[in-house]
């Protein structure tokens, strides 16, 4: 399974490592699973 999603930061945000994300920033991410037990043909 593969999923793509967008994160939106409406306000300035400081990460734990001290880096700052500016307000209005969008970030695209992808997540995937290598689990072969799922039978996607049945969906």
Compute the distance between CA of residue 18 and CA of residue 16 in angstroms, rounded to an integer.
5
pLDDT-derived band of residue 40, with 50, 70 and 90 as boundaries? low
Q: Which of the two residues, 37 and 5, has the higher pLDDT score?
A: 5
Q: Which of the two residues, 24 and 34, has the higher pLDDT score?
A: 24
Supply the DSSP symbol for 37.
-
7 touches 27 (CB < 8 A): yes
User: In the prediction, which pLDDT does 35 show?
Assistant: 78
User: In the prediction, which pLDDT does 31 show?
Assistant: 93
Please state, for a pLDDT cut of 90, what percent of the chain lies above it: 72
Compute the distance between CA of residue 9 and CA of residue 25 in angstroms, rounded to an integer.
5
Q: Please report where in the chains the tokens 């593969």 appear, as a residue.
A: 2
Q: Which of the two residues, 1 and 28, has the higher pLDDT score?
A: 28
User: In the prediction, which pLDDT does 43 show?
Assistant: 54
């Amino acid at each position: 399974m593969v999923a793509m999603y967008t994160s939106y930061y409406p306000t300035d945000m400081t990460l734990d490592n001290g880096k700052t994300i500016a307000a209005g920033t969008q970030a695209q991410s992808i997540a995937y699973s290598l689990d072969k037990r799922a039978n996607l043909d049945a969906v």
